Amino acid sequence: MADIFHEIDEDLRRERFNRLWTRYGAYVIGLAVLIVLAVAGWRGYEWWKLQRDQAAGAKFEAALQLAADGKAAEAEAAFQALEKDGTSGYRVLSRFRAATELAKTDAAKAVAEYDSLAKDPSISPLMQNVAQVRAALLLVDTAPLADVEGRMKPLDTPEGAFRHSAREIIGLAQYKAGDFKAATDTFSAILNDGQTPPGLRRRAELMRTLAAASMPVPAPAAPATPPAAAAPAVQ
């Protein structure tokens, strides 16, 4: 009897499955096909993206080699081409490198390019700050002190990633402008920051010494004039 009931139960399950398959089998097959196509499409996209990245990387390396060979104009043109045709990461890197090459022949245009990068919302805030620092470095010898300070002061915050570079640039601009007292104070602030990198610390120590030595020596105070002797009383 147990075997008979078991066979009946199996028949019922088989019949129920057949009904479900008849009703939903096409949907199951369609879903399976969609999954296969989606995986294949994703793999194809990854392959295509890898090929693009590799091609952009090869072009970027070629442009770097042109720059290393001293072919600034050709390197600048190669980087500018990558700005248009490269992948997103290489487009940003190429804009920076193009500005670097441009700075060798036209500092003002290079500063304008860095300023454009610093205001571009499509790149990360960190890279925007890098552009601000690069522009200020080009201006430190020629721009008014107020211009350099206005660019770098926003980066000089207690936790700012570029506070050390910002302070150094401000100190150099102050020294260039002849404000040796302010330069001494700025380089002292760099030295008093326990997180200042060793290389920058050595430069700051040297510049503080130079700035302090350049400050005018105050004139010695004139000796006090002794009080005049009282005239003898007339008898």
Q: What's the average pLDDT block by block, 10 residues per block, for the chain (235 residues)?
A: 58 72 78 82 71 70 76 77 72 85 88 93 90 94 93 89 93 94 94 91 94 77 57 50
138 Cβ partners below 8 Å, 6+ apart?
103, 107, 110, 111, 114
The alpha carbon torsion through 52, 56, 57, 60 (nearest 10 deg) reads 180
Distance CA 166, CA 59 (A): 33
Give domain limits for the chain.
Answer: 29-105, 129-214
Query: What is the reported pLDDT for 128?
Result: 93
Predicted confidence at residue 235, as pLDDT, reads 46
- Output the pTM of the full model: 0.65
Q: How far apart are CA 154 and CA 149, in angstroms?
A: 9
pLDDT value at position 224?
58
Residue that has been written with the tokens 């005049």 in this structure? 228
What is residue 159's predicted lDDT score, i.e. its pLDDT? 83
pLDDT tens string 71-125: 777 877 877 777 777 666 778 888 888 888 888 888 999 999 999 999 999 888 9
Give the contacts of 69 (CB within 8 A, at least 6 positions apart).
none
Rounded Cα gap, residues 156 and 153, in angstroms: 5
Contacts of 190 (CB under 8 A, 6+ apart): 164, 167, 168, 171, 196, 200, 201, 204
Q: What is the pLDDT of residue 41?
A: 80
